[in-house]
């Protein structure tokens, strides 16, 4: 990798932006480079508070922090599961399966968006695992962060945000299907744009791009990227009467 490409990929990795000077993203680079980018994607997706603890050598606080434990456990467990699927179902060599499985998982979970493999060629349940998480619908589990229970008011605010997020996702997907996109591409496009990931599902997967979408679709998805980046509320407030009265 030359100096220009290394600078571009360093910015794209640490900022979890995912833009690459090459259409093949990171797939065309060496195994060594892919592992380096994996490491720095993990660091880029880590809370800055954790970075501060490490720099200040406050390892006791780091050890007690539940966020970093959950973050690393999620990456490790899902990455291991995908690796096993690639070995057992696609008969990939162990090292290649580990590298491809963990790279795609880390890239998507940190919203970086780099790719080294077309995960849509994997078994369907493998790439669905990366994008979904299932919980017991009847479980009553208090929400805690670092052993402190989050009050009901704050939980309600979170649930309200999630509900609005899902409504916007469904509305955007329906709009795209109305202009001719298949449901898989429509849903995948809206999901990846709102989450700021990069590659999606369908024709906008890791082996494709958004260039073929109609102009109306690109406008809709541009709006979805704004909503996702600004976390919905600032944009929605602009459409209220109270905002324009100020």
Q: Each residue of 109-150: pLDDT tens digit? A: 888 889 898 888 888 878 777 767 444 445 455 566 666 666
The per-residue pLDDT for 83 is 94
- Which residue from 98, 50, 51 is spatially nearest to 76, judged by alpha carbons? 98
- Which residue from 210, 218, 206 is spatially nearest to 176, judged by alpha carbons? 218
Long-range (24+ apart) CB contacts under 8 A made by 227-235 are 227/168, 227/194, 228/193, 228/194, 228/195, 228/196, 229/196, 231/161, 232/161, 232/164, 232/165, 232/168, 233/161
The per-residue pLDDT for 197 is 80
243: tokens are 């905002």
What's the chain's average pLDDT? 85
- Which residue from 26, 66, 74 is spatially nearest to 199, judged by alpha carbons? 26
Does the pTM exceed 0.85?
Answer: no
The per-residue pLDDT for 135 is 41
On the CB side of 175, how many CA atoms lie within 13 Å of its CA? 19
SS (H, E, C) 17-44: CCCCCCCCCCCCCCHHHHHHHHHHHHHH
What is the Cα–Cα distance from 196 to 45, expressed in whole angstroms?
A: 13
Q: Each residue of 165-215: pLDDT tens digit? A: 888 899 999 999 999 998 888 988 898 888 888 778 888 888 778 888 999
Average pLDDT over residues 223-246: 80
What is the Cα–Cα distance from 25 to 208, expressed in whole angstroms?
A: 11
SS (H, E, C) 175-203: HHHHCCCCHHHHHHHHHHHHHCCCCCCHH
Helices (H), the chain: 3-14, 31-44, 48-55, 59-64, 66-88, 94-109, 124-131, 152-178, 183-195, 215-229, 233-237, 241-245
- Is the torsion defined by CA of 207, 212, 217, 222 positive or negative? positive
- Could you tell me the maximum CA-CA distance found in the chain, to the nearest angstrom? 63
């Amino acid at each position: 990798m030359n100096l220009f490409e290394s600078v571009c990929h360093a910015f794209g990795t640490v900022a979890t932006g995912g833009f690459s000077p090459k259409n093949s993203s990171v797939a065309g680079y060496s195994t060594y480079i892919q592992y380096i980018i994996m490491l720095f994607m993990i660091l880029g997706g880590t809370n800055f508070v954790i970075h501060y603890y490490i720099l200040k050598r406050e390892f006791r606080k780091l050890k007690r922090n539940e966020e970093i434990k959950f973050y690393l456990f999620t990456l490790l467990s899902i990455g291991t599961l995908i690796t096993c699927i690639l070995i057992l179902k696609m008969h990939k060599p162990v090292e290649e399966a580990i590298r491809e499985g963990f790279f795609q998982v880390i890239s998507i979970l940190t919203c970086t968006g780099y790719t080294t493999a077309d995960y849509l060629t994997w078994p369907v349940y493998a790439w669905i695992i990366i994008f979904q998480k299932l919980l017991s619908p009847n479980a009553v589990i208090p929400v805690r962060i670092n052993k402190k229970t989050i009050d009901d008011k704050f939980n309600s605010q979170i649930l309200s945000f999630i509900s609005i997020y899902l409504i916007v996702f469904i509305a955007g997907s329906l709009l795209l299907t109305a202009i001719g996109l298949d449901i898989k591409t429509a849903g995948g496009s809206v999901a990846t744009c709102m989450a700021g990931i990069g590659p999606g599902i369908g024709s906008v997967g890791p082996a494709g791009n958004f260039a073929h979408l109609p102009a109306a679709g690109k406008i809709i998805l541009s709006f979805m990227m704004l909503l996702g980046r600004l976390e919905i509320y600032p944009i929605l407030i602009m459409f209220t009467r109270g905002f324009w009265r100020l």
